[in-house]
Chains A and B, each alone.
Chain A
Amino acid sequence: MNLTFFRNKQYIWRDWIASYLFLLPALAFFSIFVAYPMLKGIYISFFSYTLRDFDFIGFDNYQHLFQDETFGKSMWNTMLIVLIAVPVVVIFSLYVAMMIYQKSEGIRSLFRGIFYLPAVSSVVSITVVWASIYHTNYGILNYLTSLFGMEPINWLGDTRTALLAIIAVLITTSVGQPIILYVASLGNIPKSYIEAAQMDRANSWQIFKNILWPMLMPTNLYIIVITTINTFQVFAIIQLLTSGGPMYATSTVMYGVYEQAFKLGNFGIAAAMGVILAIVIGAISFIQFKYLGSDVEY
Chain B
Amino acid sequence: MMFFSKITGSRPRPLSSGTNLRKKTPSIPSLLANLLLIFLALLFLFPFYWIVTGAFKVQNVAVAIPPQWFPEEPTLDNFRALFKNPVWRWGFNSFFVASSEMIGVCLTASMAGYVLAKKMFPGRKFIFILFVSAMALPKQVILVPLFTMLADLNWIDTYKGLILPAIGWPFGVFLMKQFAQTIPSELMEAAKIDGCSEIRLFATIILPLLKPALGALAIFTFINAWNDYFSQLIITRSTPMMTLPLGLATLQGEYTTPYGVLMAGAALASLPMITIFLLFQKAFTQGITMGAVKG
> Which residues of A are at the interface with B, using a C-beta cutoff of 8 A?
15-16, 18-20, 22-23, 25-27, 29-38, 40-41, 43-44, 49, 95-96, 98-100, 102, 109, 111-118, 120-126, 128-133, 137-138, 140, 143, 172, 177, 180-181, 184-185, 187-188, 191, 194-195, 198-199, 201, 203-205, 207-208, 218-219, 222, 225, 229, 232-233, 235-236, 239-240, 254, 257-258, 261-262, 267, 270-271, 274-275, 277-278, 281-282, 285, 298
B209 on the A face (CB < 8 A): no
Query: Which of B45, B107, B167, B282 sits near A117, CB closer than 8 Å?
Result: B45
How close is A239's CB to chain B, nearest CB, in angstroms?
8
Residues of A within 8 A of B259 (CB): 132, 138
Which residue in A19, A49, A270, A282 is a CB contact (below 8 Å) of B119?
A19
Q: How many angstroms between the C-alpha atoms of A261 and B148 in the bound complex?
A: 10
Whole-angstrom distance between the Cβ of A87 and the nearest chain B Cβ = 17
Q: Which of A44, A117, A143 lies at the interface centre, i.e. has the most chain B CB atoms within 10 A of its CB?
A: A117
Contact A298 B266 (CB under 8 A): no
Of all chain A residues, which has the CB nearest B276?
A: A120
Q: Which of A15, A43, A140, A188 contacts B50 (CB 8 A)?
A: A140
A199:B15 contact, CB within 8 angstroms: yes
Q: Is the CB of A22 within 8 A of B47?
A: no
Q: Which of B4, B136, B140, B273 contacts A225 (CB 8 A)?
A: B136
| Contact status of A125 and B266, CB under 8 A, knowing A118-B44, A267-B144 | yes
Taking the closest CB of chain B, its distance from the CB of A127, in whole angstroms, is 8
Say yes or no: A27 contacts B112, CB within 8 Å.
Answer: yes
Contact A120–B277 (Cβ < 8 Å): yes
**Closest CB of chain A to B4's CB: distance in Å?**
4
- Report chain B residues within 8 Å CB of A282: 136-137
Q: A123-B227, A184-B289 are in contact. Are A143 and B45 (CB under 8 A)?
A: no
The answer on a CB contact under 8 Å between B167 and A29 is: yes
Binding site for A on B (CB under 8 A): 1, 3-8, 10, 12-13, 15, 18-19, 21-22, 33-34, 37, 40-41, 44-45, 47-48, 50-51, 54, 62-67, 104, 107-109, 111-112, 114-116, 119, 121-122, 124, 127, 130-131, 134, 136-149, 164-168, 170, 172-173, 198, 202, 223, 226-227, 229-230, 233-234, 244-246, 248-249, 252, 259, 262-263, 265-267, 269-271, 273-274, 277-278, 281-282, 285, 288-289, 292-295
Please judge, given known A-B contacts A124-B269, A195-B18, whether A30 and B289 are in contact too, CB under 8 Å.
Answer: no
Q: In the complex, which of the residues A23, A49, A115 contacts B115, with contact meaning CB atoms closer than 8 Å?
A: A23
A58–B212 CA distance with the chains assembled, in angstroms: 50
CB distance from B107 to the nearest CB of A (A): 7
Interface centre among B15, B40, B172 (most CB of A within 10 A): B40
- B226 cross-chain contacts in A, Cβ below 8 A: 122
**A278–B112 contact, CB under 8 A?**
no
- Are A204 and B281 touching (Cβ within 8 A)? no
Complex interface: chain A residues within 8 A of B244 (CB): 122
Known: A19-B115, A29-B164. 4 other contacts (CB 8 A): A125-B269, A172-B44, A181-B288, A262-B234
- Which residue, A33, A49, A201, has most C-beta atoms of chain B within 10 A? A33
Question: When the two chains form their complex, are residues A204 and B7 in contact, meaning their CB atoms are under 8 A apart?
Answer: yes
Q: Contact check, B144 vs A44: say whether CB atoms are below 8 A apart.
A: yes
CB distance from B277 to the nearest CB of A (A): 5
- The chain B residue with its CB closest to the CB of A38 is B142
A-B contact pairs, 18 of them (CB 8 A): A18-B198, A26-B173, A30-B134, A32-B168, A34-B168, A98-B7, A115-B40, A116-B277, A117-B44, A121-B48, A129-B48, A129-B51, A172-B44, A194-B7, A198-B18, A219-B293, A233-B138, A235-B140
- In the complex, how many angstroms separate the beta carbon of B175 from the nearest chain A beta carbon? 12
* Chain B contacts for A32, CB-based, 8 A: 168
Q: Give A117 to B50 CA distance when docked, in angstroms.
A: 14
B245 touches A15 (CB 8 A): no
Bound Cα distance from A201 to B65, whole angstroms: 55
Question: When A and B form their complex, which 9 residue pairs have the shortest distance between CB atoms, in order from nearest?
Answer: A121-B270, A26-B112, A125-B266, A204-B4, A33-B168, A29-B168, A138-B63, A188-B295, A124-B245
